[in-house]
Structure 1
């Protein structure tokens, strides 16, 4: 397959050590199952933790496990989302209180939100500046990677993707170290207070944003170089039919592994290559649009959420305009597709009664090989430039695993229909004139 090489070296795995979960309920059950069997380390890295009974039950399970066994527990969330309170005054931080004494709880705060902007922007709106968006769940040497957060809807009726890599110490060690260096550069919960970590040499928003970015970039790059060295000295199994590659995207720090890989991938010229892309929030940056529509030549299917499956559908306040914003983005993309004659690029929308759509990723199929990317990235401006993102790329020639990966992808399309100019004329896709006017101004915050 003409798949470009990612920046970081790969890890050969046994396909049987990759478990693909197919429902939110199974994702939740697996979190509890892995928690109960953890013996050394447990790390949860997510945007936020919800305040419902399911989330509290998960925290209770972690507490029970840590009382039975001396395990290292690390929680990394985003500061802005993790401190947002609900109507009852609860937040991620308050839900974590039962395990705060025996765990290390960190909250990453983007250095881009500081000074007057931090004082002026209200809660919720301040999150557009940048977030900790990685979704990595580590239990000993097992890595569960997803696009799903730790919240009740993600455990019940929010469609996403979930891959569990079992007994993969190199991958677990790498992501555990990434979590730790971001955590060391974040706020820590200490005596029910939020204070900068003792290892955070520059205050996340009171200090110099430039110095903070350089500090964190240096720390992340050390982990990257350590991983590269470890793969050089490890025994490679060149005959393996399945490889996995960690992929980071931290544009905030000038780390662009995902962006550079996708630029090469989207520019491929191979009419026999079939590519599929999914994102609950479809918002390609201009670089990706131009590579796909003006340079690339392959079949591409794009799956995104219908307005009904958008998590902001029928919201209050400005949030109610978010589904029409994405309809407008899809409208503009399809018009550019027509202009460039890329008729083998098609769009589909996901709609399932009482479900929302949050799945994201890429699949590429060619010559009895299949590649897929799974993780937190939505491939939009925020993912590229503002947020901290992590993915895993799987490349396989194993026929059984290829069938499993195809089944996972096809399951998403069972609830989809074509999204074209005719579909965009339906009432649910109505785009108010105001949305068309401001769309270009705010796309970089989506």
Structure 2
């Protein structure tokens, strides 16, 4: 089945290789913006990087008063700090502070996809500046933008397309603003639980049937792009496309995921692909490269068990399919770079189909969060050189895993994680956790 698409050329796509380059491009395009800036992210954090971006946005608005600037973040995350920083009032306080300080207006919208953060969040990604889309799985804070010593690596693509930029903005306007479900975050009065519950019910009904609307243009272009959005396990276009890409693969698959906890449907399709001879390369973060990893044993808490659960899932998968690892058909690369973290997602199939997405390709993304993605179909492989450069940059910090025995078993873990894993396993809570991770 041929997908509706928007055509672009090779020169319309730039692949950025680092969070530093991503931040520089982001700030540079803000300075040059003439008509609109629409930012969608899980959160825009109250820290140095977040404040630098907001300062640049207000400066651009003062310079060009007609500039339409709207920021869409998850409503739950907007009202709390990072994990372990309970004293924070939340990012909403920063938005209100900036709004009160400046004479120009920037729209800050909170989207409550579910009544509670645990049950699902706004996980859409994409920054539209004029007719350019800057797409990455990254949110906006110090570590994602490499503000200080540490960084969280993601994938970063800049795509120039008027039609694509327009349809991303229309999705936000129609489904969140015109529908009335977007919550204004510059009010100093906190969003009540009742308000979030009412808004999330409306939002959930909208996003389950919403998709990107666009007119097909440039059908003869070398590269064709189709955007997808999805929320929930049923009738989810993005989830369906992930499975379809793997199902249609004939030669090779490269899969990026920060957390190895694949949905059953994905595992099934990967298994079938292996059995029909497709070479599969999985690039995943080491447990120490997880944003949930707690290095200090004295500070270890419940949230810190997550990387260990992921690692045991990975070990079991490798053990089951060791024969494909031995033959070289299944390649696992583990990413680790000192104290930095890994947040890459997406698929590359047969070196001609590239799926860029913010989805972590895990059960939570599959069934709870609102996600989006871009499929770039490139039958003449014009994007291949850029992707190979990206891959080489990523693989500078990976090591090949040739046996499941190279992955730590539970008995290799420090005392606190080992004891907690044992308790979770005995109570079968670990099965429940895997659905929400």
| TM-score w.r.t. length of structure 1 | 0.83
Q: Which residue of 1 aligns with 2:205?
A: 214
Deviation readout 1:24-83 (Å, 9 max, x if unpaired)? 111111111111011111111100112221211110110011011121111111111111
* 1:52 aligned residue (42, 47, 50): 47
Q: Write the distance in 1 (CA, Å) between the matches of 2:29 and 2:283.
A: 31
Q: Which residue of 1 aligns with 2:291?
A: 311
After TM superposition, the structure 1 = structure 2 runs for residues 5-404 of structure 1, keeping only pairs within 5 Å, are 5-6=2-3, 9-69=4-64, 70-85=66-81, 86=85, 89-97=88-96, 98-99=98-99, 102-113=105-116, 127-156=117-146, 157-166=151-160, 168-180=161-173, 181-183=175-177, 184-193=180-189, 204-206=196-198, 209=201, 212-217=203-208, 220-221=210-211, 224=212, 226-227=213-214, 230-231=215-216, 234=217, 236-238=218-220, 240-251=221-232, 254-268=234-248, 270=250, 273-294=251-272, 297=276, 298-314=278-294, 316-338=300-322, 344-365=329-350, 369-398=351-380, 401-404=383-386
1:417 deviates by 1.2
CA separation of 1:340 and 1:161: change in aligned 2, threshold 3 A: closer
Asked if 2 retains the 8 angstrom alpha-carbon contact of 1:134 and 1:390, the reply is: yes
Asked if 1 retains the 8 angstrom alpha-carbon contact of 2:181 and 2:199, the reply is: no
Q: Which residue of 2 aligns with 1:434?
A: 423
SS at match of 2:127: strand
Q: Write the distance in 2 (CA, Å) between the matches of 1:395 and 1:435.
A: 43
Q: Write the distance in 2 (CA, Å) between the matches of 1:378 and 1:208.
A: 22
1:354 deviates by 2.3
SS at match of 1:417: strand
1:110 deviates by 2.6
Asked if 1 retains the 8 angstrom alpha-carbon contact of 2:80 and 2:86, the reply is: no
CA separation of 1:283 and 1:31: change in aligned 2, threshold 3 A: same
Q: Write the distance in 1 (CA, Å) between the matches of 2:293 and 2:30.
A: 34
User: After the TM superposition, which of the residue ranges 316-325 and 36-45 deviates more from structure 2?
Assistant: 316-325
CA separation of 1:216 and 1:294: change in aligned 2, threshold 3 A: closer
Deviation readout 1:333-371 (Å, 9 max, x if unpaired)? 223324999962232210111211111111122xxx522
1:389 deviates by 0.8
Q: Write the distance in 1 (CA, Å) between the matches of 2:361 and 2:371.
A: 10
CA separation of 1:159 and 1:333: change in aligned 2, threshold 3 A: same
SS at match of 1:74: strand
Asked if 2 retains the 8 angstrom alpha-carbon contact of 1:185 and 1:204, the reply is: no
SS at match of 1:153: coil
Structure 1: tracts of 5 or more residues without a match: 114-126, 197-201
| TM-score w.r.t. length of structure 2 | 0.85
1:400 deviates by 5.1
User: After the TM superposition, which of the residue ranges 392-401 and 130-139 deviates more from structure 2?
Assistant: 392-401
1:260 deviates by 1.2
Q: Write the distance in 1 (CA, Å) between the matches of 2:185 and 2:78.
A: 11
1:182 deviates by 3.0
1:264 deviates by 2.1
Asked if 2 retains the 8 angstrom alpha-carbon contact of 1:249 and 1:383, the reply is: no
1:382 deviates by 1.2
CA separation of 1:346 and 1:442: change in aligned 2, threshold 3 A: same
Deviation readout 1:61-120 (Å, 9 max, x if unpaired)? 10011011121111111111111134663522122231476011111113353xxxxxxx
Asked if 1 retains the 8 angstrom alpha-carbon contact of 2:249 and 2:349, the reply is: no
Q: Write the distance in 2 (CA, Å) between the matches of 1:405 and 1:322.
A: 30
Q: Which residue of 2 aligns with 1:122?
A: none
Asked if 1 retains the 8 angstrom alpha-carbon contact of 2:49 and 2:140, the reply is: no
1:169 deviates by 1.2
Asked if 1 retains the 8 angstrom alpha-carbon contact of 2:245 and 2:349, the reply is: no
1:434 deviates by 3.3
Q: Write the distance in 2 (CA, Å) between the matches of 1:63 and 1:16.
A: 31
Asked if 2 retains the 8 angstrom alpha-carbon contact of 1:44 and 1:74, the reply is: yes
Asked if 1 retains the 8 angstrom alpha-carbon contact of 2:95 and 2:186, the reply is: no
SS at match of 1:138: strand
CA separation of 1:425 and 1:18: change in aligned 2, threshold 3 A: same
CA separation of 1:335 and 1:173: change in aligned 2, threshold 3 A: same
Q: Superposition RMSD on alpha carbons, in Å?
A: 2.7
